[in-house]
Chains A and B, each alone.
Chain A
Amino acid sequence: MLMAMAAAILLTVLLGLWRVWRGPDLVNRLLAIQLLGSGGVAILLLLSQALAQPALLEVALIIALLAAVVPAAFVQRLKQEQRK
C-alpha cells in the first residue's frame, strides 16, 4: 500500500515536470523544482517505511536541506545576470 502511495506521488511529480519543460521562463522552472523536492522527500519517507531502511530518512533530510540551498544559489546567479 505504501508503495502504491509512493507511485501516486511519483505521478504528481511527473505532472509537475511538464512545468519544468514548458515554463516560459526560469522562475516557473525553479518553482517546479521546489515541487519535485517536496515530492521526492515524501516518496523517500514512504520508501523508508516500506523498505524498513531508516537511513533513507537521512537522505530525505539532505534533500530538504539542499532544497533550501539550491534555489537560493540559482536565484542569486539569476540576479547576477540581471545586473549584466
Chain B
Amino acid sequence: MSGDFWFDALLGVLLLVLALATIQARQLAAAVMLYVVFGLMLALAWARLGAADLALAEAAIGAGLTGALLFSALARQPKSITPPVRAGKMAPLAALMLCISMGTVLGWTLWQLPLQPAHSQLPAALEQLGSSGTEHLVTAVLLNFRAWDTLLELLVLLLALLGTRLVAAPEPAALQHWPLARQWSIRLLPLLVLVAFFVLWRGATAPGGAFQAGALLAAALVVLRLNGQLPMLSFGAWWVRALILAGVLAFLLAGLLSLWLNWQPEQAVQWLSWPLPLAKGLILLIELCATLAIGLTLTLLVVGERKELTA
C-alpha cells in the first residue's frame, strides 16, 4: 500500500462524497460551496494524472469563477438562501429509475472501450508538432489540429452570455464601500493581470492558454466590480461588444485568411489549417483575442446587469 495508492483512493472517495454532499445539502449556499470544493478536488485529480492544462483550467474556471457565478446567481434570488423545494412523492422514484438506467448505459459503454486504443492518432500528431506553430502539444491540438472545437467552444460561451441577457433576473442590492476589500483588490489587480498574460504566453511552450488566462482576468474584473471600483460594464458600449466578439471574430478571420492563402484549384478545401509560416503568429493572435473575449464574457456572466437596457 504505497503513498500513491492512498492518495488516489482518498481522492476518489473524497470526490464521490463531495458530489453526494453537494446534492444533499439542505441550503443552496452550502451546496454552492461544496461545489466549489468539488471543483478544487477535481483540479487535484487532473494534477495527479499529470494533465497540468486541465488542472489550470479546472482551478481557474471550475473552482474559482463558477463558484463566484453560482453565488452571484444566489444573491439575486428574491428570497436569498432558501432550502430547495421538495417535489411530489413519485419524483424520487422516477429519478432513481433514471439514474439506474443511465448508470447502466454509461457503465456498459465504458466497459466496451479498450484500455489501449487500437490506433491512436497521437504519434502522428507528435510528428507534426514542429509544423504546428507551437511547441506544446496541448496548445497545438487546441488551436491547430482541432481548432474547430475551440472555435465552437468560444461560440458556446458567447451564446451563454446572450442567453443570460435574456433572463429577467432581479438586480442585486446596492454595493457597499469596504475599505479593506477595496485596497486588497487594487493591490491584486496588477498581479492577476501579470499572471494572466504570463499563463497566456506560456501556452506556447508549457501548460497554459487562453481559457485559463481569460478566467484570471475575469476574476480581477469581478472583484473590482463587486467592490464598486469599476463602472458598470454597459452592454451598449461599443468596446464591450467588440471585445466579446473578438475571440470568435479572430478565429473566423484567421480561418478565412488561411483558406485564401492555401487555396489551390484542384484540392479539397481545408478549414482552419494554418499556413506554415503564419501558424505561430496566427495562433498567438487568436489566443490573445480569445483571452480578452473570455475574460470579459465571464465577467459579464458574473456581474452583468440589465439596467443599461433601459437607459
A interface residues with partner B (beta carbon < 8 Å): 1-7, 10-11, 13-14, 17, 20-21, 26, 29-30, 33, 36-37, 40, 43-44, 47, 51, 53-56, 58-59, 61-63, 65-66, 68-70, 72-81, 83-84
Contact = CB atoms under 8 A, between A and B. Distances in A.
A23 to B, nearest CB: 8
B80 A6 contact: no
Interface stretch (B91-99, B118-126, B185-193): B185-193
B135 to A, nearest CB: 14
Contact of A51 (B50, B192, B199, B223): B50
A77 B21 contact: no
Contacts of A63: 40, 43, 59, 63
Contact of A59 (B59, B75, B175, B226): B59
Contacts of A10: 7, 10-11, 14, 44
Contact of B60 (A17, A20, A62, A84): A62
* Interface SS of B by simple majority: helix
A7 B7 CA distance: 4
Given A10-B11, A14-B14, A80-B75, A33 B56 contact: no
8 contacts: A17-B17, A26-B81, A36-B40, A51-B50, A55-B207, A59-B55, A72-B181, A73-B222
A41 B172 CA distance: 33
Contact of A30 (B14, B33, B53, B188): B33
A36 B3 contact: no
B173 A62 contact: no
A61 B147 CA distance: 28
Interface string B56-90: 10011001100110011011000011000000000
B41 to A, nearest CB: 8
Q: Is the interface of A mostly helix, strand, loop or mixed?
A: helix
B173 A83 contact: yes
Contacts of B14: 10, 13-14, 17
B231 to A, nearest CB: 16
Nearest to B172: A80
Contacts of B191: 65
B178 interface: yes
Given A58-B199, A78-B75, 5 more contacts: A7-B3, A10-B14, A40-B40, A59-B59, A77-B71
B71 A73 contact: yes
Contacts of A20: 30, 33-34, 37
B239 to A, nearest CB: 24
Contacts of A44: 44, 47, 55
Given A68-B184, A72-B184, A36 B52 contact: no
A66 B3 contact: no
Given A6-B3, A10-B14, A76 B33 contact: no
A33 B30 CA distance: 11
Interface in B11-61: 11, 14, 17-18, 21, 25, 29-30, 33-34, 36-37, 40-41, 43-44, 47-48, 50, 52-53, 55-56, 59-60
Interface stretch (B157-165, B212-220, B277-285): B212-220
Given A37-B40, A53-B50, A73 B176 contact: no
A62 B3 contact: no
Contact of A3 (B4, B17, B64): B4
Contact of B55 (A56, A77, A79, A83): A56
